[in-house]
């Protein structure tokens, strides 16, 4: 009615478009806005609303075209830059998103949204220093507990513990009952060796959680690590006296006695664990490890053979330990036989096939190992480690490269922060001759796992093929310094010296 009285009432027309959106009539809203834009091409608000509607409908190309048209009129419009940058980021076009968002904060250095988006984007791109700087800028502009937690998590990941602790403390001032943050703070104190501070936080945590047994267990582990055996024993015995805590306390009490030097007491406690206990499996493994530690391999093997003989007493892990023991004693065929028994006992358990694959890998039987990993994937297609193993093995052998790339990309999607999986992606690109992409992924892998020599050697190979010879020399040098294996060290050293000699001749 208002438009009948005044057809030129822009405010009313826009309100009508918003109303149509709220009623679910987005197509009619689009028609309404397109007519308004035709009448007034310079009105940016109408264009932005149209772009937002397209974006909400999943019509991303149309939304992008609208936002870019706005920037033709107003190149520095902050809202449009934000929406376009966010759209590129959601489409995983990270480099274009970075370009747009950096342009946004250059235009408006008070844009909280711009810096927060950039922080997340930089982290995704493994530009960790830039990400931390962006988080700091955003939090200075506007404190947000959610964003602060993200920043603290990144600081923790980059081992900037003091900065992470400062944020966690502030978050606890605002929400003292947040058990997740208090637990992370205690863990960081442990990492820093601030044991009393860690114990204080853990004891405080008990005031805010109903599962105090888990916290007591963590306290006991700290005491055990610090060799404060009397305190640990007192705590675990107290837990053992409470029926609901028996399962979690018994094995830790046994371990404490064992480390304290009372092996007989430890074994007596472990032998008392009933097969119905949640801690039964762990108790058998601990018993076997104690015997192995005492060089009593025969008794350990007998124990494991006895428990896998019973249908109610067998567990997959018992087979794995026994097979490994037999292999170390020089009888890999007997170990293989144990895995065959495990497959029959647990035919639907993917871990059995995975561990069998690793066993065959240690024997140098790579084809057999890949076959076992493919059996894992037949049961659990999204097993990142199996995908990575198969993909990397194929890439290393230079076969099935397209399929290897498919597998490893799946693994990266499942484990984006795993440096070893990222190394596999770089390596398959290297084997495909896509050296630029190989360098990008291997640099990311090296930033995640800076002390892994294989990743450094792979990075050296990629730099060399990409023509970045100085960087290749540096990477090979790191690999040589990090390798413990003499054969691998010698191989990296050959590559390093070849490049150095080539540089001298040039």
pLDDT digits (tens, 9 = 90+) for 200-240: 999 999 999 988 888 999 999 999 999 999 999 999 999 98
Per DSSP, 175 falls in state -
What pLDDT, on the 0 to 100 scale, is given for residue 365?
96
pLDDT of residue 6 exceeding 50: no
Q: Give dist(CA 76, CA 58) in Å, integer.
A: 25
**Mean pLDDT, to the nearest integer, of 410-424?**
95
Q: Give dist(CA 348, CA 346) in Å, integer.
A: 6
What pLDDT, on the 0 to 100 scale, is given for residue 3?
41
Report yes or no on 4 lying in a domain. yes
Q: Which of 30, 54, 74 is the last residue of a domain?
A: 74
Report yes or no on 197 lying in a domain. no
User: How many separate domains does the chain show?
Assistant: 2
Residue 26 structural domain: 1-74
Ranges 1-10, 117-126, 271-280, 380-389, most confident: 380-389
Q: pLDDT, tens digit, for every residue of 103-151?
A: 999 999 999 999 999 999 999 888 999 999 999 999 999 999 999 999 9
What pLDDT, on the 0 to 100 scale, is given for residue 16?
67
**Mean pLDDT, to the nearest integer, of 366-392?**
97
Class of residue 451 by CB neighbours under 10 A (exposed 0-12, middle 13-18, buried 19+): exposed
Report yes or no on 315 lying in a domain. no
Percent of the chain exceeding pLDDT 70 equals: 95
Count, in order, helices (H) and strands (E) of the chain.
30, 0
pLDDT of residue 21 exceeding 90: no
Report yes or no on 39 lying in a domain. yes
Q: Which of 26, 41, 74 is the last residue of a domain?
A: 74
Report yes or no on 455 lying in a domain. yes
Report yes or no on 460 lying in a domain. yes
What pLDDT, on the 0 to 100 scale, is given for residue 284?
95
Q: Give dist(CA 433, CA 41) in Å, integer.
A: 49
Radius of gyration of the chain (CA): 30
Q: Return mean pLDDT, the chain.
A: 91
Q: pLDDT, tens digit, for every residue of 179-201?
A: 999 999 999 999 999 999 999 99
Task: Give Dmax over CA atoms of the chain in angstroms.
Answer: 98
pLDDT of residue 480 exceeding 50: yes
* 37-71: b (≥16 Cβ within 10 Å) or e: beeeeebbebbbbbbbbbbeeebeebbbebbebbb
3-state class (DSSP) for residue 296:
coil
Report yes or no on 459 lying in a domain. yes
Q: Which of 44, 74, 104 is the last residue of a domain?
A: 74
What pLDDT, on the 0 to 100 scale, is given for residue 57?
85
pTM score: 0.69
**Mean pLDDT, to the nearest integer, of 358-373?**
97
Q: pLDDT, tens digit, for every residue of 353-365?
A: 999 999 999 999 9
Report yes or no on 195 lying in a domain. no
At 436, which CATH number? 1.25.40.10
Task: Give Cα separations from 102 to 84, 96, 121 (angstroms).
Answer: 12, 10, 11
Task: Give Cα separations from 64 to 101, 121, 265 (angstroms).
Answer: 14, 19, 70
């Amino acid at each position: 009615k208002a438009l009948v009285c005044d057809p030129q009432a822009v405010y009313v027309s826009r309100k009508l478009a918003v109303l149509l959106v709220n009623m679910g009539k987005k197509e009619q809203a689009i028609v309404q806005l397109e007519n308004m834009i035709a009448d007034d091409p310079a009105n940016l608000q109408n264009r932005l609303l149209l772009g937002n509607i397209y974006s909400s409908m999943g019509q991303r190309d149309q939304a992008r075209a609208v936002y870019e048209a706005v920037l033709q009129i107003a190149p520095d419009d902050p809202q449009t830059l934000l929406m376009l940058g966010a759209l590129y980021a959601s489409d995983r076009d990270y480099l274009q998103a970075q370009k747009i968002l950096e342009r946004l904060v250059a235009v408006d250095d008070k844009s909280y949204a711009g810096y927060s988006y950039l922080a997340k984007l930089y982290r995704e791109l493994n530009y960790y220093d830039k990400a931390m700087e962006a988080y700091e800028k955003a939090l200075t502009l506007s404190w947000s507990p959610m964003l602060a937690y993200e920043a603290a998590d990144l600081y923790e990941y980059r081992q900037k513990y003091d900065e992470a602790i400062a944020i966690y403390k502030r978050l606890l001032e605002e929400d003292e009952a947040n058990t997740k943050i208090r637990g992370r703070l205690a863990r960081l104190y442990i990492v820093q060796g601030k044991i009393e501070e860690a114990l204080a936080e853990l004891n405080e945590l008990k005031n805010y959680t109903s599962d105090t047994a888990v916290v007591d267990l963590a306290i006991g582990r700290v005491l055990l690590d610090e060799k404060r055996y009397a305190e640990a024993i007192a705590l675990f015995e107290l837990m053992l006296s409470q029926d609901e805590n028996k399962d979690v306390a018994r094995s830790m009490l046994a371990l404490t006695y064992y480390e304290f030097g009372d092996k007989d007491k430890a074994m007596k406690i472990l032998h008392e664990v009933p097969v119905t206990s949640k801690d039964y499996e762990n108790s058998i493994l601990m018993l076997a490890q104690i015997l192995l530690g005492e060089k009593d391999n025969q008794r350990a093997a007998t124990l494991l053979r006895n428990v896998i003989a019973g249908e109610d007493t067998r567990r997959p892990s018992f087979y794995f330990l026994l097979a490994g023991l037999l292999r170390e004693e020089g009888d890999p065929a007997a170990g293989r036989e144990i895995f065959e028994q495990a497959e029959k006992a647990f035919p639907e358990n993917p871990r059995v096939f995975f561990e069998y694959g690793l066993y065959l890998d240690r024997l140098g039987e790579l084809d057999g190992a890949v076959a076992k990993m493919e059996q894992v994937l037949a049961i659990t297609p999204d097993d990142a480690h199996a995908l990575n193993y198969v993909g990397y093995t194929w890439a290393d052998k230079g076969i099935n490269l397209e399929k290897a790339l498919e597998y490893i990309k799946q693994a990266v999607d499942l484990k984006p922060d795993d440096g070893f999986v990222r190394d596999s992606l770089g390596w398959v690109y290297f084997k495909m001759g896509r050296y630029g992409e190989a360098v990008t992924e291997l640099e990311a892998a090296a930033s995640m796992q800076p002390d892994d020599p294989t990743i450094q050697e792979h990075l050296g190979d990629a730099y060399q093929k990409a023509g970045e010879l100085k960087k290749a020399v540096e990477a090979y040098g790191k690999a040589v310094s990090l390798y413990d294996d003499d054969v691998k060290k010698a191989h990296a050293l050959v590559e390093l010296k070849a490049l150095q000699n080539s540089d001298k001749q040039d």
